[in-house]
Chain A
Amino acid sequence: MKVLVAVKRVIDYNVKVRVKPDNTGVDLANVKMAMNPFCEIAVEEAVRLKEKGIATEIVVVSIGPKACQEQIRTALALGADRGIHIEADEEVQSLDAAKLLKAVVEKEEPKLVILGKQSIDSDNNQTGQMLAALTGMGQGTFASEVVVDGEKVNVTREVDGGLMTVSLNLPAVVTTDLRLNEPRYASLPNIMKAKKKPLDVMSPADLGVEIAARLTTLKVEAPAARSAGIKVADVAELVDKLKNEAKVI
């Protein structure tokens, strides 16, 4: 079966985020960018399904400026077969991303679509669920285990208070949580091979979607800093302070 994986280019998770002095956003100039960590897990899961003989073809798609092709190439080096880049220089919000992905789903007709549960920049946690709703598919969000069983997929989900397993009709959407797998690193020969794999570029207009932001960011600020308190000498002083000064025990 064909698996579609959506990946997003974001600030590298090791980079210290700095708010711009004019409060219009986060400073991304000359900052290291990378594939969103939850998307890496999505690619890894698709590659494992292919290694098990369940997935026959992995198509990776990314939306954003031309530089996104780096992340598509990374996914191709990890084992995806071909890439689709939807080129958009303006901000693409979750609902429009879901509409673009819906158009790709209609063209490619994958049996399974795997996405990260959220991107570490906007932290929205929306696109996978919106895509599932727009395409009329079931969804297994925050997945820690994915088992394809004939025309169904059983997804174990990380939920408040434990785990929950849902059984979904295929085609379905899965969004990844941290414990689903540990992504591999791309080997040098595979990075070289990835350069020759096919990569189609299209525009939102080609897919019949008009990008229209519904949310306006008025300002972005650094979080209020919490000031350091005092150091206590020993446990007895700590318990005394908690009881008599902070009055929390």
Chain B
Amino acid sequence: MSILVIAEHDNSSLTPATLNVVAAAKAIGGDIDVLVAGENCGAVAEAAAKAEGVAKVLVADNAAYGHFLGENLGELVAELGKGYSHILAAAGTTGKDFMPRVAALLDVAQVSDIIRVESEDTFVRPIYAGNAIATVKATDSIKVVTVRPTGFDPVEADSGSASVEQVDVVKDAGLSSFAGEEKAKSDRPDLASAGIVISGGRGMQNGENFKMLEQVADLLGAGMGASRAAVDAGFVPNDMQVGQTGKIVAPQLYIAVGISGAIQHLAGMSESKVIVAINKDEEAPIFQVADYGLVADLFEAVPQLEEELKKVL
């Protein structure tokens, strides 16, 4: 068996999720190659070559791949992937965009968002917003699979020494072009990879009150999240949303503040190692998954938390 992992990156650095995808590839077993497709992405290729268990890094460095457009990546990966038994990518917005194109061009099914590998052709994935877990067997000769990063512990980032090989396949489908982007500005760790996440819900009452959480987040070096209720109410932007329709996170510590614990939120954070819930409603479903629950008014508890943390950190 041979597995092609498509690296997720921003042309300058490899996103940590790629190491989790390599771990999924190791669980399948076989030779693992990594494709880095981008523009001026040499540093990413070097980083990928150091990942544990990688045999070879293929680099497709061309302006056509600079913005990771699904039309161009789809054609490239479909062509390079033909010789492999498996093609894997992280189930982030880039992988979700181009991988189904790869599957369609190869006339095979895709298995989306796997959280476990049972065997080379059998995978476990959540369905119905995490309310059911399906075990699925893929019957096609090439398995196209997207991987939920939090389902796998990452491989080591710097224990490998793979060879790096340039590929000069240029696929510009000519269907789409990049027209701009708006990156969320934040000095905090990225929500998906942060070791600690603190999230606010409808109980925060407005966007201004999220500043209280920011102060705690800064003390802990935590990423900031929110429930869908808080996003729908307009308190904070959508990219902070944790849940089935937002980001899936699994940090060491997850602190839910003023979040009731709707099923769609739980689907996005219940794999966290330790969960803390602060809510004034002791019947809130969030307490059923919390390791430590504090029934309290968040407007008193959060400032106290900040003070207590200052004492011990």
- In angstroms, Cα B220 to Cα A157, docked, is 31
Q: Are B133 and A248 in contact (CB under 8 A)?
A: no
Known: A26-B132, A161-B190. A123 touches B113 (CB 8 A): yes
- In angstroms, Cα B246 to Cα A158, docked, is 10
- In angstroms, Cα B313 to Cα A124, docked, is 43
Q: Mark A141-185, 1 if CB is under 8 A from B, else 0.
A: 110100000000010011111111111110010000011000000
For chain B, residues 159 to 206, give those with C-beta under 8 angstroms from any C-beta of chain A.
Answer: 173-184, 190, 192, 196
- In angstroms, Cα B102 to Cα A134, docked, is 10
> Which among B107, B175, B220, B301 is the interface contact of A168 at CB below 8 angstroms?
B175
Stretch at the interface among A60-68, A79-87, A195-203, A214-222: A214-222
- In angstroms, Cα B238 to Cα A136, docked, is 31
> Which among B69, B71, B173, B289 is the interface contact of A226 at CB below 8 angstroms?
B289
Tell me if A205 counts as interface (CB < 8 A to partner B): no
Q: Are B137 and A235 in contact (CB under 8 A)?
A: no
- In angstroms, Cα B131 to Cα A17, docked, is 6
Look across to chain A and name the residue whose beta carbon is closest to the beta carbon of B306: A235
Tell me if A42 counts as interface (CB < 8 A to partner B): no
Known: A134-B104, A162-B181, A163-B181. A123 touches B129 (CB 8 A): yes
Q: Are B175 and A230 in contact (CB under 8 A)?
A: no
| A117 shortest CB reach to chain B, Å | 8
For chain B, residues 17 to 66, give those with C-beta under 8 angstroms from any C-beta of chain A.
Answer: none
Tell me if B268 counts as interface (CB < 8 A to partner A): no
Known: A11-B128, A133-B74, A178-B238. A242 touches B109 (CB 8 A): no
Q: Are A249 and B196 in contact (CB under 8 A)?
A: yes
- In angstroms, Cα B103 to Cα A163, docked, is 25
- In angstroms, Cα B130 to Cα A120, docked, is 10
Q: Mark B273-292, 1 if CB is under 8 A from A, else 0.
A: 11110000010000111111
Q: Are A133 and B93 in contact (CB under 8 A)?
A: no
- In angstroms, Cα B284 to Cα A21, docked, is 28
Tell me if A139 counts as interface (CB < 8 A to partner B): yes
**Chain A residue contacts of B129, Cβ below 8 A:** 17, 120, 123
Interface residues contributed by chain B, number (CB under 8 Å): 89
Tell me if A236 counts as interface (CB < 8 A to partner B): yes
Tell me if A246 counts as interface (CB < 8 A to partner B): yes
Q: Are A223 and B184 in contact (CB under 8 A)?
A: no
Tell me if B79 counts as interface (CB < 8 A to partner A): no
Q: Are A161 and B183 in contact (CB under 8 A)?
A: yes
Q: Are A235 and B139 in contact (CB under 8 A)?
A: no
For chain A, residues 11 to 68, give those with C-beta under 8 angstroms from any C-beta of chain B.
Answer: 11, 16-17, 19, 26
Tell me if A193 counts as interface (CB < 8 A to partner B): no
Which of B107, B274, B282, B287: most chain A Cβ within 10 A?
A: B274
Tell me if B1 counts as interface (CB < 8 A to partner A): no
- In angstroms, Cα B291 to Cα A142, docked, is 34
Q: Mark B107-125, 1 if CB is under 8 A from A, else 0.
A: 1111111000000001000
Stretch at the interface among A1-9, A69-77, A92-100, A105-113: A92-100
| B119 shortest CB reach to chain A, Å | 11
**Chain A residue contacts of B178, Cβ below 8 A:** 164-167
Q: Are A162 and B292 in contact (CB under 8 A)?
A: no
Q: Are A130 and B103 in contact (CB under 8 A)?
A: yes
Q: Are B181 and A121 in contact (CB under 8 A)?
A: no
Known: A122-B127, A236-B308. A228 touches B287 (CB 8 A): yes
Q: Are A228 and B293 in contact (CB under 8 A)?
A: yes
Tell me if B157 counts as interface (CB < 8 A to partner A): no
Look across to chain A and name the residue whose beta carbon is closest to the beta carbon of B125: A123
- In angstroms, Cα B99 to Cα A129, docked, is 8
Known: A129-B97, A136-B175. A242 touches B253 (CB 8 A): yes
**Chain B residue contacts of A234, Cβ below 8 A:** 294, 296, 304
- In angstroms, Cα B131 to Cα A239, docked, is 32
Known: A154-B179, A214-B139, A218-B122. A235 touches B133 (CB 8 A): no
Q: Are A160 and B93 in contact (CB under 8 A)?
A: yes
| B246 shortest CB reach to chain A, Å | 9
Q: Mark B70-85, 1 if CB is under 8 A from A, else 0.
A: 1100100000000000
**Chain B residue contacts of A138, Cβ below 8 A:** 71, 173, 175-176
For chain B, residues 86 to 112, give those with C-beta under 8 angstroms from any C-beta of chain A.
Answer: 92-94, 96-105, 107-112
Q: Are B100 and A125 in contact (CB under 8 A)?
A: yes
**Chain A residue contacts of B126, Cβ below 8 A:** 123, 223
Q: Are A167 and B104 in contact (CB under 8 A)?
A: no
Q: Are B135 and A217 in contact (CB under 8 A)?
A: yes
Q: Are B97 and A139 in contact (CB under 8 A)?
A: yes
- In angstroms, Cα B183 to Cα A157, docked, is 12
Q: Are B309 and A95 in contact (CB under 8 A)?
A: no
Tell me if B134 counts as interface (CB < 8 A to partner A): yes
Beyond the given pairs A95-B108, A136-B173, A159-B94, 8 more chain A to chain B contacts, judged by CB atoms under 8 angstroms and listed by A's residue number, are A16-B263, A133-B101, A138-B175, A141-B93, A220-B133, A220-B134, A226-B270, A228-B287
Interface residues of A (CB under 8 A from B): 11, 16-17, 19, 26, 93-95, 98, 120-134, 136-142, 144, 154, 157-169, 172, 178-179, 214-223, 226, 228-232, 234-236, 238-239, 241-243, 246, 248-249
Q: Would you list 6 pairs from A and B whose C-beta atoms are within 8 A, ordered by A residue?
A: A138-B71, A144-B238, A160-B247, A163-B181, A178-B245, A249-B309
